[in-house]
């Protein structure tokens, strides 16, 4: 079994937290399998685009090799959704990609940040 297979098996899901609902987008532990990461995100985007899915999204990217192109795909896909998002947090990015998100957040209609701790990220989303 390849090490990225465990990451591909992780399901993204809706989580109730402190009286609110968060969509946890699990794209972690996919390592350098970028095409598989893109495929998993595109499959999950079907669920994210549903009106019943939360407008607060945590994108978990720990142990996945994420570059500018992948982040552009994720952010641009969120921007193009036919429903509004309120907050998006990225977890597990390196310093260079955090800097990219910081620049990119001026171009979007929803709040967006990077937080390394999942609990703190959930608190930020619901606050």
pLDDT in tens, 11-61: 999 999 999 999 999 999 888 889 999 999 999 999 999 999 999 999 999
Site of tokens 């009286």: 19
Residues 6+ positions from 13 with CB-CB distance below 8 Å = 23, 24, 26
Question: What is the reported pTM?
Answer: 0.93
Residue 88 has pLDDT above 70, yes or no: yes
Q: What tokens were used for 107?
A: 């171009």
Identify whether the C-beta of residue 65 lies closer than 8 Å to the C-beta of residue 52: no
Instruction: Output the pLDDT for position 8.
Output: 64
Averaged pLDDT for residues 97-124: 96
């Amino acid at each position: 079994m390849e090490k990225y297979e465990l990451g591909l098996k992780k399901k993204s899901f809706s989580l109730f937290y402190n009286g609110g609902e968060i969509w946890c987008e699990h794209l972690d532990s996919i390592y350098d399998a970028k095409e598989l990461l893109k495929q998993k995100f595109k499959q999950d985007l079907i669920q994210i685009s549903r009106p019943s899915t939360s407008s607060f999204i945590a994108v978990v990217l720990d142990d996945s090799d994420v570059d500018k192109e992948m982040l552009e795909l994720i952010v641009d896909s969120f921007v193009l959704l036919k429903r509004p998002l309120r907050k998006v947090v990225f977890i597990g990015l390196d310093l260079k990609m955090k800097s990219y998100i910081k620049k990119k957040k001026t171009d979007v209609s929803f709040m967006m940040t990077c937080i390394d701790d999942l609990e703190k990220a959930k608190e930020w989303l619901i606050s």
